[in-house]
Amino acid sequence: MAEPHVREAAELLAHARRVVVFTGAGISAESGVPTFRDALTGLWRRFDAQALATPEAFRDDPALVWGWYEWRRSRVSRAVPNAGHLAVAAIEARVPDSLVVTQNVDDLHERAGSVAPLHLHGSLFAPRCSVCARPAPYEVAQEPGDGRRVSPPRCARCAGPVRPGVVWFGEALPAAVLEAAIGAASGCDLLITVGTSGLVYPAAEIPQVAARLGARVIQVNPERTPLDAVADVNLRGPSAQLLPALVRAAWGGDDPALPGAGPSGAGG
């Protein structure tokens, strides 16, 4: 049973003063957001996700790539933060010196109440000019059909095509965001890693940095990962169940920061 491990993890959380919550695709998958490699359905199955998510693909066929990202944004917009996202926001509310670092490009943490999470791989909702890098306003478009090309908008400054604000294959992570994430991991006393495979570098180094510098590490994941080796407590199961249970065990069963979020329910 996981309950003794939840109690052990709750003891660490209740006494933590600086917490980093590091999340990956698993937490959003529980809200119905497909993982990157599962994101091609319908007519998009004809395409290779790794081939679409490159600067070269956007240069060669910007309407195809923009259309795919518009379709992905529309799917994310219909998703609802789950109880795991709400529990992460509750941890932030309880531990003021805390930070969310996510590999996800959706906005479910923000909609759940997290304040300024660090998006290591960018955001679907922060497009920018592909030429001058100026941020572009995001406009909710009608959902494009499967496989539909949609011409990207033009930059108001230089008229260059606006690109999705995500990190593509072959691109480096945003230096300032990565530096802030590593700095937070270096200074925390507890890191909670949720729903990440621990295989994508350099992001996967963040929990290991925390562990090497003396922080305790809690892992929440249904599966074994390479981070098992650095975790003090491994909680096996869905984050939408385990994270609310962890918050309740640390601070009581009637935490007001978890409105309507039962152990397996969705909220937000």
Catalytic annotation, residues: 121
Three-state DSSP state, 190 = strand
Structure-block tokens of residue 21: 């919550």
In this structure, the strands spanning 162-166 and 122-129 are: antiparallel
Three-state DSSP state, 254 = coil
122 in Cβ contact with 174 (< 8 Å): yes
Structure-block tokens of residue 93: 């509310």
Q: Measure the CA–CA gap between 234 and 124, rounded to whole angstroms.
A: 31
52 in Cβ contact with 223 (< 8 Å): no
36 in Cβ contact with 113 (< 8 Å): no
**How far is C-alpha 207 from the chain's CA centre?**
15
77 in Cβ contact with 111 (< 8 Å): no
DSSP state of 106: S
As beta bridge partners, residue 23 has: 102, 194
Q: Measure the CA–CA gap between 235 and 4, rounded to whole angstroms.
A: 10
Q: Measure the CA–CA gap between 97 and 188, rounded to whole angstroms.
A: 9
**Within the chain, where are the H helices?**
3-14, 25-29, 49-52, 55-60, 62-78, 83-94, 108-112, 175-187, 205-212, 239-251
